[in-house]
Structures are given as structure tokens and as C-alpha cells.
Amino acid sequence: SYVLTQPPSVSVAPGQTARITCGRNNIGSKSVHWYQQKPGQAPVLVIYYNSDRPSGIPERFSGSNFGDTATLTISRVEAADEADYYCQLWDSSSGHYYVFGTGTKVTVL
């Protein structure tokens, strides 16, 4: 099956760095995008094309993608960063087209 594997949860203290991984065989050959979703709200695109930030997204959010793992990094974590985060990619070759990761709950301690 076509699965993008994320850790279910990540806990981080304010001011520290949170790293959220997204795993799949050879994911580095694809463009990966990341979304933040707070409770009761629609998702928001925070990183696209592996490492680009949409306007309005703080520089504290960064991304990388190499080998079998894509990573979303949140530096100097704030309480407002507490949310669910999803990775996503597009791949027409498998017939799945748009695939989301399993999601990671980031808790700010």
C-alpha cells in the first residue's frame, strides 16, 4: 500500500526545536508539502516543494527531503504551534495521485 509514515506524536518544550518526519521509500525523488491543522480548523499549507514557505508562514518553519525521509522542522517552538501536521505528495504513477501522511500531533509542553 502507498503510505507516508509519520510519528503519531511529538512533544517539545517552548523555545526548543520540533522535527516531524515523513517516511517512504525514495521520498526524496518527490516534492513534499506540509500542512498545519489546529482543532476545528481547516489545514494550512506551511511548507511546499520540500522547503519553500508560503507568504505569512514564519521563518521558524523549514523543510527538507532526502532519501527515504522528509522532515518538517519548527524552530523556537511556540504554544501556537501546537497542532496536527500532515505531509503530502503527488504521484500519478501509482494511481494514488495525492497522498497524505498519517499525521503527527505536536504538543508544546
Partner 1 sequence: DVQLVETGGGLTQPGESLTLSCEVSGFSVSGSYMSWVRQAPGKGLEWVSVIFGNGDTYYAGSVKGRFTISRDSSVSTLYLHMNSLRAEDTAVYYCVRLYCNGVFCGDAFDVWGQGTMVTVSS
Beta strands at 9-12 and 104-108: parallel, antiparallel or unpaired: parallel
98 is a site residue for partner 1 (CB under 8 A):
yes
31 is a site residue for partner 1 (CB under 8 A):
yes
Tell me how crowded residue 106 is: count the other CB atoms within 10 A of its CB: 20
24 is a site residue for partner 1 (CB under 8 A):
no
Among 5, 44, 60, 64, binds partner 1 (CB under 8 A): 44
7 is a site residue for partner 1 (CB under 8 A):
no
43 is a site residue for partner 1 (CB under 8 A):
yes
Contact region for partner 1 (CB under 8 A) — 18-26, 60-68, 72-80, 99-107?
Answer: 99-107
How many Cα atoms are found within 13 Å in the side-chain-facing hemisphere of 96?
Answer: 13
Write out the E strands in the chain. 9-12, 18-23, 32-37, 44-47, 61-66, 69-74, 83-91, 97-100, 104-108
Binding stretches for partner 1 (CB under 8 A): 31, 33, 35, 37, 42-45, 48-49, 54, 86, 88-90, 95-103
